[in-house]
A and B are shown apart, each in its own frame.
Chain A
Amino acid sequence: MPRINSCAELEELRQEILSQRDPNKPCIAICTGSGCIALGAADVVTAFKDEIKEQGLDIKIDIRETGCPGFCERGPLLVIYPEETCYLRVKPEDVKEIITETVLGKKVIDRLLYIDPETDEKAVKESEIPFYKNQMRLLIGDNIKIDPNSIEDYLAIGGYSALAKALFEEGPEKIIASVKESGLRGRGGGGFPAGLKWEFTRKTSAETKYVIVNADEGDPGAFMDRALLEGNPHAVLEGLLIGAYAIGAREGYFYVREEYPLAVENVTKALKQAEEYGFLGKNILGSDFNFTVQIHQGAGAFVCGEETALIMSLEGHVGEPKPRPPFPAVKGLWGKPTNINNVETWANIPLIINQGADAFASVGTEGSKGTKIFALVGKVKNTGLVEVPMGITLRDIVYKIGGGLPGGKKFKAVQTGGPAGGCMPESLLDMEVDFDQLTKAGSMMGSGGMIVLDEDTCMVDFARYFLNFLADESCGKCVPCREGVKQMLNILTNITLGKGKPGDLELLEELAEVAGSSALCTLGKGAPNPALSTLSHFRDEYEAHINEGRCAALSCKELIAFYIDPAKCKACGACIKDCAPEAITGGKKVIHVIDQEKCTKCGSCLEACPAAFGAVSKMSGEPVPAALPEESRNLG
């Protein structure tokens, strides 16, 4: 493949690629992102390839292995073009029928379609499915259209035209002005105006500058960047190239967490292809812009998502954050001006250049422009990645797109911002989601993790969970974080174990002030937030744990007891069979009784008891009723 040396050559190649593609040729686009692979997508792909080969249809039907389109709850999933028919929860056994009935026969297989749980309405096309329809999928919508390992697929959907425009029509000053005007704010958590950061880096005079893609997506519950890197690495690279050109950097890095092997693989392939085609290296597209890029992997440290710790890691050190000022824009990697942005931030750049700053800014709110990809996970029916315009309400995300909570459970809260974030209870469901509103509500945008919690989630334990995570991930350099997080964790752990004492909450708030104010970096400074946020909205739960020994969510093992109601027990023996510690006495026609001393609170009895009887329940905060005397336990 000879290198592309001009815009004209790029457009020629693009037209050539398009002319060789027949839009009416059947194409089966199957998601092979990490999520669908975990659900067995690889077997589905193999089944398709085998069946197509067997039927001699190789040249008649294309298979495209794509990245994640977002409806992870319903994977493995696929879209059949040109009709755009979308099938969900596809199994290898369905493959033969799909080829015969749908691909060749143009008939739809109802059982594989999305069926609305309320109206029973079927959606045939991907774009008709409410989960997708209610989103604004400017970035992630491209994933199903391309094979991430094919640069030509990316070119076919207009890829690298923004780079050409940036290099030959705009120039660095105009690019930066556009990004500033667009209002794009960092998508990694900080929400700092991207254009401003680029400008600072550009203005610092130095021969060498760096640009970095922060792909150390460490927030538990967030996987937007994984989907973008696995599914459309060229979009991220194109954004990086435009940024590098505008800032004056000739070298760049992708810092990808080690836990994302498929992302590393796909980015590696993309970089190789980009180089072959002339989008990397010397004289890109025939301009005087030279740029090379390397991939560095993380090694299992959440703190390396913090930009100064990431820089330390790139320099071959432990990820201990550095004080700011000086900011990386002035003194970053190897002491040079460095611009670090999150994956999703970079991915937005080609959009801004292509459609213009005004068009980009027409989406979103006053202070937060554009769309945001959220990882909608937890106790919600439609889990997956959702891309929505800033300003959409939490209610719309959770209910309209997410489909509400499963199991008939009651909504309790939504958590955003990862370990530095906070919870929004029901009273805040109508909040218009954007950077400033989330901060005002005591949380933050964070990288995009959005976790739905229901009545079974203990908010004290939830706060404890985050502090436990941070205690493990703290770099340990400064006292407020190293010691403070540990002490806060101790207090919360004791409360969940029923050992809470008066004064605990006040001490927690005191430690929150110390860490929140004086910690070295944002890991430490944000550490108190989950505790403070849950305290502010669910203080009653904390107080019940401490003063009444009661866990309202019936979750904290030390504070709950399992009880078999003798009036409902039919002595069927189901729970006895599943009780590992053999804590249940009784037998056929002898009412079952749980020995509280032996019970390990595993919950097997609750699961085993037939729904028709419903004799097992959890209780908290009150003494377990005394067991019936043995003589009274015989059932008729």
Chain B
Amino acid sequence: MDSGKIDQIINKHNADAGSLIQILLEIQNENNWLPKEALTRVSETLAVPMSRIRHITTFYKTFSLVPRGRHEVHVCTGTACHVRGAERVLEAVEGVTGVNAGETDPDLNFSVETVGCIGCCALGPVVVVDGEYHGNILPAEITKVLQDKK
């Protein structure tokens, strides 16, 4: 990711250290992940210690310090989804993608994450694939959706 783009994002937030998290979110949206060079640039430009940036990028679950897959699969493991069988859906997702929750496959096809709550609790279990929501999903159904993306 070129430093020009990063500077643009930083300037949009008036190079304000308080907007650090918003800046990192935008960089990640553009770039799919947060490479070290981007973090160094942010650290220098905002005059924020690298130790603080490293804590932030590892504390908050949204950030990824490694490249993510082309397809992002978020499986909700919230309470309502849990009692309606989210575990089996997760097993199905891990099975068909070959990727465990929290990981990305080496070919960068799929990234699988669990989310504490996606906010569609009435329709549990819920899986979001590339921003598309699937509610009341059965293990067999999500398997098909992901097979088609392979």
Q: When the two chains form their complex, are residues A449 and B121 in contact, meaning their CB atoms are under 8 A apart?
A: yes
Complex-state Cα separation, A301 to B116, whole angstroms: 9
Q: What's the least CB distance linking B55 to chain A, in Å?
A: 5
Q: Judge if B17 is at the interface, Cβ distance under 8 Å.
A: yes
Selected from B116, B117, B135, the residue in CB contact (under 8 A) with A38 is: B135
Give the contacting residue for A35; candidates B56, B115, B123; CB below 8 A: B123
- CA of A156 to CA of B32, assembled, Å: 42
Interface centre among B56, B63, B78 (most CB of A within 10 A): B78
Q: Is B119 at the interface (CB under 8 A from chain A)?
A: yes
Kindly list chain B residues whose C-beta atoms are within 8 Å of the C-beta of A296: 19, 21-22
Residues of B within 8 A of A (CB): 17-22, 24-25, 48, 52, 55-56, 59-63, 77-84, 88, 115-124, 126, 131, 133-136
A299/B120 in contact, CB under 8 A = no
- Select the stretch in A170-178, A213-221, A587-595 that faces chain B: A213-221
The winner among B20, B24, B80 for most chain A CB atoms within 10 A is B80
Give the CA-CA distance A316 to B53 in the complex, in Å: 9
CB pairs A–B below 8 angstroms (5 shown) = A219-B117, A299-B24, A299-B61, A375-B122, A466-B79
The 4 closest A-B pairs by CB, nearest first: A220-B78, A300-B61, A72-B122, A38-B133
A221-B80, A449-B121 given; A316·B116 CB < 8 A = no
- Nearest A residue to B58, CB-CB: A318
Selected from B20, B79, B88, B135, the residue in CB contact (under 8 A) with A221 is: B79
Contacts A218-B117, A259-B117, A300-B61 hold; do A318 and B124 have CB atoms under 8 A apart?
no
B116 touches A472 (CB 8 A): yes
What is the minimal beta-carbon distance from B19 to any residue of chain A, in angstroms?
Answer: 6
A316 & B122 in contact (Cβ 8 Å cutoff): no
Question: Contact between B119 and A217 (Cβ–Cβ < 8 Å)?
Answer: yes
Check if B56 sits within 8 Å of A34, measured CB to CB: no
Please tell me if the beta carbons of B119 and A299 are within 8 angstroms of each other in the complex: no
A378 part of interface (Cβ distance < 8 Å): yes
Quick one: closest A residue to B121, CB to CB? Answer: A377
From A72, A298, A378, contact of B84 by CB (8 A): A378
Q: How far is the CA of A464 from the CA of B77 in the complex (A)?
A: 13
Contact residues of A between 12 and 66, Cβ < 8 Å to B: 34-35, 37-39
Give the complex CA separation of A217 and B52 in angstroms: 25
Residues of A within 8 A of B120 (CB): 34-35, 38, 72, 223
| A223 to B118 alpha-carbon distance, docked (Å) | 9
Instruction: State how many angstroms separate the Cβ of A384 from the closest Cβ of chain B.
Output: 5
Given contact pairs A35-B135, A449-B121, enumerate 5 new A-B contacts (beta carbons under 8 Å).
Answer: A72-B120, A220-B116, A297-B25, A316-B20, A375-B121
Chain B contacts for A385, CB-based, 8 A: 122
Q: Is the CB of B135 within 8 A of A299?
A: no
Q: A377-B124, A472-B116 are in contact. Are A300 and B80 (CB under 8 A)?
A: no
Looking at the assembled complex, report how far the CB atom of B86 sits from the nearest CB atom of chain A, in whole angstroms. 10
Contact between chains at B25 and A301 (CB < 8 Å): no
Which residues of A pack against B, CB within 8 Å? Answer: 34-35, 37-39, 72-73, 75, 217-223, 226, 258-261, 296-302, 313-319, 334, 375-379, 383-385, 415, 418, 449, 451, 453, 457, 462, 465-466, 469, 472-473, 475, 602
Contact among A34, A319, A418 for B133, CB-based, below 8 A: A34
**CB distance A377 to B80 under 8 Å?**
yes
Bound together, the chains give a CA A217 to CA B21 distance in angstroms of 18
A-side interface mostly: mixed
Known A38-B133, A299-B21; contact A465-B123, beta-carbon cutoff 8 A: no
Bound-state CA distance A297–B61 (Å) is 13
A300 lies within 8 A of B83 (CB): no
Give the complex CA separation of A191 and B25 in angstroms. 32
Select A72's contact among B17, B116, B117, B123, beta carbons within 8 Å: B123
Which residues of chain B are near A301, meaning CB under 8 Å?
A: 59-61
Point out which of B48, B56, B84, B117 has the most chain A C-beta atoms below 10 A from its C-beta: B117
Most buried by A among B52, B115, B119: B119
**A296 to B26 CA separation, bound complex (whole angstroms):** 12
- The answer to whether A39 and B135 touch across the interface, beta carbons within 8 angstroms, is yes
Which of B63, B88, B117, B121 is A299 in contact with, Cβ under 8 Å?
Answer: B63
- Which residue on B lies nearest to A301, using beta carbons? B60
Neighbouring B residues of A384 by C-beta, 8 Å = 122
User: Would A316 and B25 be within 8 Å (CB), given that A219-B117, A220-B117, A449-B121 are in contact?
Assistant: no
Known contacts: A38-B120, A299-B25, A385-B122. The answer to whether A451 contacts B79 by CB under 8 A is yes
Q: Is the CB of A220 within 8 A of B61?
A: no
Who on chain A is nearest to B136 by CB? A39
Q: Which residue of B lies closest to A318 (CB)?
A: B59
Cα separation A451 to B21 with both chains bound (whole Å): 33
Q: Report whether B117 and A383 are in contact in the complex, using a CB–CB cutoff of 8 Å.
A: no
For residue A420, give the distance in angstroms from its CB to the closest CB of chain B.
13
Which A residues are CB-close (under 8 A) to B79? 220-221, 377-378, 415, 418, 449, 451, 465-466
A521 to chain B, nearest CB (A): 15
Q: In the complex, which residue of chain B has the Cβ closest to the Cβ of A314?
A: B18
Chain B residues with CB under 8 A of A415: 79
List residues of chain B with CB within 8 A of the CB of A451: 79-80, 83
Which residues of chain A come closer than 8 Å to B18, judged between CB atoms? 314-316, 334
How far is it, in angstroms, between the C-alpha of A221 and the C-alpha of B136 when the chains are bound?
Answer: 14
CB contact between A223 and one of B17, B119, B133 (< 8 Å): that residue: B119
| Alpha-carbon gap, A299 to B29, bound state (A) | 12
- Cα-based distance from A405 to B9 in the complex (angstroms): 50
- Asked if B56 and A220 make an inter-chain contact with CB atoms under 8 angstroms apart, the answer reads no
- Closest residue on chain B to residue A263 by CB atoms: B119
Given contacts A219-B117, A296-B21, A300-B61, contact A453 B123 (CB under 8 A): no
A457–B133 CB distance below 8 A: no
Q: Report the minimal beta-carbon distance from A117 to chain B, rounded to whole angstroms.
A: 18
Which one of A38, A469, A475 contacts B126 once the chains associate, using CB atoms below 8 Å?
A38
Considering the complex, give the chain B residue whose CB is closest to the CB of A217.
B119
The chain B residue with its CB closest to the CB of A319 is B59
CB B125 to nearest CB in A, in angstroms, measures 11
Known contacts A299-B60, A379-B83; A260/B119 CB under 8 A: yes
Interfacial chain B residues near A223, Cβ < 8 Å: 117, 119-122
Instruction: Give CA–CA (A217, B120) in the complex, Å.
Output: 12
Q: Which residue of B lies closest to A303 (CB)?
A: B59
